[in-house]
């Protein structure tokens, strides 16, 4: 069943009188003109759909017309395809609870509790039919306990409130200086330890800079890379530039403009994450196109692209420059062998860890550090990797459910600290880029997490399981996409040398 042809009239979203769909491909020419009522789809037919946007529209439509059975089937499908999404898991648990199905409700909530989700169910009327057992009391209390703030991080400073949309930070280790970029006015400013701002780079006719989405400093080469986009959020955009995105290169010490690398290809681009690895390798992610680029000569060239990705976010490079990691907001964390371009899924145990909702991703001393703002509660996690880098073996929460966390997004590693925007205010802006009518900007809180927190402790053991294998393989088959970059082999464990042994002995966690 080819879904894009099947559901050409998913008018569930607008009215219940046009719930029709095109007949499956392969029927006779006369029969193919017939349409079907989407309200008559069977569970088996829904289980064949792998298109996220179609499933989301179906869920909204079934909820609107009150078709609880097909709504449940749709969320079961979404949860099967995207097991890292707590929103789908919780919505499915609520649907089972409304039917009084304690077994299915408890199974989902128990798994969510073990994964670290925190939810207050005390006054949630959807769960009334299942809230009369000792097991329910245990689950509801445990899920509420998971909401408790945790960690020893702290508010580093606040940036002045205003229509600035500060979304990105970078660290200059040579001058011990943070930099912050604005998606609204395209400015880059130096930040003192008490949050005072000093102008550094402004958009002008020479550099043509747009709204700033990500920053990365390459101190050894005295370079600052800026991922910027001519989106509607940027007040200074021209209609001719709308939809363009580029990496801008400046001198880190002076702010002098050096070069611009435009995202290649037609259509809209949004470069949203950038990182620099060993030897000055620069990588940037196009969050709209789900493509990763690097600078090659005077242009951006594709490093990886995959039709199965949903929402590409943070990037991180291993210290040796061999592995590039990236986060997909829906699917979790993946890696790429930079020498070969082969990709691999980073394996872990889904019973004790959920890796959906990651925005920022950073490399620190043999570990990955992830900012999960799509998690309940929002949190910063340190992920210890196996020697070859393809498996998560232990997890340590660094900061969880802190009062400052209101959509934490991106930041920068500064020595043993991670500084990041703790209360991104992007949700205050409408679809055309302006502040919503009732929006009231707050001071921007920059949070500081200690990357060596509980460094010698074991943390959460995540005995490895490849959680994604079946859903991704199934999804690729149904969507008839190209082979996935996540299908590559695991990284090879290189023979240990006296030099690497000496380096490893210095590492803790």
Write the DSSP assignment of 9-26 as a string of letters.
Answer: EEGGGT-TT-EEEEPPTT
Does 498 score more than 60 pLDDT?
A: no
Residue 245 tokens, joined: 């995105």
pLDDT, position 468: 32
86 in Cβ contact with 377 (< 8 Å) = no
Give burial (CB, 10 Å; 0-12/13-18/19+) of 118.
Answer: buried
pLDDT, position 99: 96
C-alpha span between 114 and 106 (Å, rounded): 12
197 beta partners: 191
159 in Cβ contact with 180 (< 8 Å) = yes
283 beta partners: 275, 294
Instruction: Return phi, psi of residue 225, to 5°.
Output: -100, 135
380 beta partners: 371, 399
DSSP 178: E
For 460, the enclosing helix (H) or strand (E) is: strand 460-461
Nearest alpha carbon to residue 403 among 426, 421, 378: 378
Lowest average pLDDT, out of 92-101, 424-433, 465-474, goes to 465-474
Give burial (CB, 10 Å; 0-12/13-18/19+) of 490.
Answer: middle
Does 23 score more than 70 pLDDT?
A: no
pLDDT, position 79: 95
Four-way CATH pick for 150-478: 2.120.10.30, 3.40.50.700, 3.30.56.10, 1.10.260.30: 2.120.10.30
* CB half-sphere exposure, 504, CA atoms < 13 A: 10
Instruction: Return phi, psi of residue 282, to 5°.
Output: -110, 130
C-alpha span between 22 and 172 (Å, rounded): 57
Q: How confident is the model at residue 501 (pLDDT cuts 50, 70, 90)?
A: very low
C-alpha span between 200 and 177 (Å, rounded): 12
Q: What's the predicted TM-score (pTM) here?
A: 0.85
Q: Name, of 26-30, 88-92, 340-344, the range with top average pLDDT.
A: 88-92
User: Which top CATH class is 3-108+124-133?
Assistant: mainly alpha
Q: Where are the domains of the chain?
A: 3-108+124-133, 150-478
Does 187 score more than 80 pLDDT?
A: yes
Q: How confident is the model at residue 294 (pLDDT cuts 50, 70, 90)?
A: very high
Tens of pLDDT, residue by residue over 225-266, are 999 999 999 998 888 898 999 999 999 999 999 999 999 988
* CB half-sphere exposure, 245, CA atoms < 13 A: 32
Q: Whole-number mean pLDDT of the chain?
A: 85
Instruction: Return phi, psi of residue 6, to 5°.
Output: -65, -45
The residue that leads in pLDDT, 494 or 486, is: 486
**Mean pLDDT score, 465-492:** 41
Residue 381 tokens, joined: 């996690």
Tens of pLDDT, residue by residue over 33-91, are 334 577 889 999 999 998 899 999 999 999 999 999 999 999 999 999 999 999 999 99
CB atoms within 10 A of CB 204: 10
Give burial (CB, 10 Å; 0-12/13-18/19+) of 444.
Answer: buried
Does 307 score more than 80 pLDDT?
A: yes
Write the DSSP assignment of 292-332 as a string of letters.
Answer: EEEEETTEEEEEEE-TT-S-EEEEEE-TTS-EEEEEETTTE
């Amino acid at each position: 069943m080819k879904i894009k042809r099947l559901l050409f009239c998913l008018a569930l979203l607008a009215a219940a009188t046009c719930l029709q769909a095109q007949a499956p491909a392969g029927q006779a020419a006369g029969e193919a003109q017939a349409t079907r009522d989407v309200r008559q789809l069977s569970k088996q037919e829904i289980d064949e759909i792998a298109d996220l946007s179609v499933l989301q529209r179906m869920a909204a439509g079934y909820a609107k017309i009150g078709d609880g059975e097909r709504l449940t089937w749709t969320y079961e499908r979404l949860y099967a395809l995207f097991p890292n999404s707590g929103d789908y898991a919780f919505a499915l648990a609520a649907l089972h609870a409304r039917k009084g199905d304690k077994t299915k409700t408890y199974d989902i909530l128990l798994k969510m509790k073990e994964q670290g989700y925190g939810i207050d169910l005390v006054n949630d009327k959807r769960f009334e039919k299942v809230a009369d057992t000792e097991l329910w009391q245990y689950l509801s209390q445990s899920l509420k306990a998971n909401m408790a703030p945790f960690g020893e991080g702290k508010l580093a400073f606040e940036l002045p409130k205003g229509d600035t949309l500060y979304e990105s930070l970078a660290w200059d280790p040579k001058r011990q200086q943070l930099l912050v970029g604005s998606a609204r006015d395209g400015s880059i400013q130096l930040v003192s330890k008490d949050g005072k701002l000093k102008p550094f780079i402004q958009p002008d006719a020479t550099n043509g800079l747009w709204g700033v989405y990500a920053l990365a400093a390459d101190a050894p080469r005295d370079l600052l890379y800026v991922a910027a986009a001519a989106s509607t959020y940027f007040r200074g955009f021209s209609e001719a530039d709308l939809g363009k995105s580029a990496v801008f290169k400046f001198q880190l010490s002076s702010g002098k403009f050096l070069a611009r690398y435009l995202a290649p290809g037609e259509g809209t681009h949004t470069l949203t994450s950038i990182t620099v690895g060993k030897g000055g390798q620069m990588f940037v992610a196009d969050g709209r196109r789900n493509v990763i680029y690097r600078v090659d000569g005077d242009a951006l060239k594709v490093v990886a692209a995959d039709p199965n990705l949903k929402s590409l976010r943070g990037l991180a490079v291993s210290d040796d420059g061999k592995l590039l990691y990236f986060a997909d907001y829906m699917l979790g964390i993946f890696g790429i062998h930079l020498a070969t371009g082969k990709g691999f899924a980073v394996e872990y145990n889904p019973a004790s860890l959920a890796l959906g909702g990651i925005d920022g991703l950073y490399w620190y001393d043999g570990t990955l550090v992830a900012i999960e703002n799509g998690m309940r509660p929002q949190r910063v996690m340190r992920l210890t990797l196996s020697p070859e880098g393809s498996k998560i073996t232990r997890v340590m929460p660094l900061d969880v459910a802190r009062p400052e966390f209101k959509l934490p997004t991106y930041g920068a590693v500064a020595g043993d600290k991670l500084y990041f925007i703790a209360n991104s205010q992007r949700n205050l802006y409408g679809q055309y880029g302006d502040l919503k009518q009732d929006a009231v900007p707050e001071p921007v809180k920059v949070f500081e997490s200690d990357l060596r927190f509980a460094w010698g402790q074991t943390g959460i053991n995540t005995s490895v399981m490849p959680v994604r294998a079946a859903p991704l393989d199934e999804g690729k088959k149904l969507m008839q996409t190209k082979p996935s970059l996540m299908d590559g082999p695991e990284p090879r464990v290189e023979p240990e040398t006296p030099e690497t042994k000496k380096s490893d002995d210095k590492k803790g966690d």
